[in-house]
Amino acid sequence: MRDILVAGNWKMNGSSAANAELVAGIVAGVPKGSGFSLLVCPPFPYLAAVVAQADGSAVKVGAQNVSEHKKGAFTGEVAPGMLGDLGCDYVIVGHSERRALYGETSEHVAAKFQAALAAGVTPILCVGESLEEREAGTTQSVIDEQLDAVLDTAGVGAFAAAVIAYEPVWAIGTGMTATPEQAQDVHAHIRARVAEQSAEIAAKVQILYGGSMKGENAAGLLTQPDIDGGLIGGASLKAEDFLAIAEAAAQA
Ligand code: PEP
């Protein structure tokens, strides 16, 4: 069966001192057991320090964004090879905040996804609908457009070394979690969409849920058949909160 991945997206939060305390707390409290892994995604300036601190522990480190370019005159951007060089295992691409606030299109996200893969960094592709889209009954078509852009560009084979995160935009940072059934429905749809091109890859790809996941609701979500972990914002900023989700993962 698929392992569970519990990933923390710190967004633009933290400081050297706060991060050191957070990572120490997480590393010290990793639940016993197997079948799950933990990942933290700090802001770019702190990646090297967090990689060094987490070295030798069960906690992996990823970035929150990446350029689609390998190198060159792209002021302010960070190349996928640089992330690999620093020791990052993962990178989040297409987070709804990047799509909504920075105008990233699905094509742009697909290019970033491919560039990360080519550099040996596992992309976590975020997809998800807004509240208006859900209410209009277009959830599946919105997700299909976001997913197909990557399937068409990178090919289904790329998903053998990638992760998908379903993050309903209306649930991110709002405290409004999707019910386990609502999330499971969309996760099953995503897996079926990948299975149209490869049943084998669909059966293996991890699909995380993101949107106000916390200790209290994690078990209900993580025990759904197509939910293979969580992408966690707010609750990843305190070791205790993050570890409560990790605990649910260890028991799922
Ligand atoms: C996120 O930003 O990916 C997220 C899921 O945030 P939160 O857990 O705070 O809803």
Say how many Å lie between the CA of residue 235 and the centre of ligand 1. Answer: 8
Calpha distance 103→216 (Å, rounded): 34
pLDDT tens digits for range 96-110: 999 999 999 999 999
β-strand 4-9 against 59-63: which pairing, if any? Answer: unpaired
Catalytic (active site) residue 187: no
154-198 pLDDT, tens per residue? 999 999 999 999 999 999 988 888 999 999 999 999 999 999 999
The whole-number pLDDT of residue 176 equals 87
Sign of CA dihedral 216, 221, 223, 228: negative
The rounded Å distance from CA 101 to ligand 1 centre is: 15
Catalytic residue among 68, 104, 167, 247: 167
Mean pLDDT per block of 10 residues along the chain (252 residues) reads: 96 98 97 95 98 96 98 98 97 97 97 98 98 96 98 97 97 90 98 98 98 96 97 98 97 93
> How far is Cα 106 from Cα 25, in angstroms, rounded to an integer?
36
Residue 176 structure tokens: 């409004």
Buried b (16+ CB within 10 A) or exposed e, 99-108: beeeebebeb
- Does 167 participate in catalysis according to the annotation? yes
Say which DSSP state 44 is in. G
User: From ligand 1's centre to the CA of 73, what distance in Å?
Assistant: 32
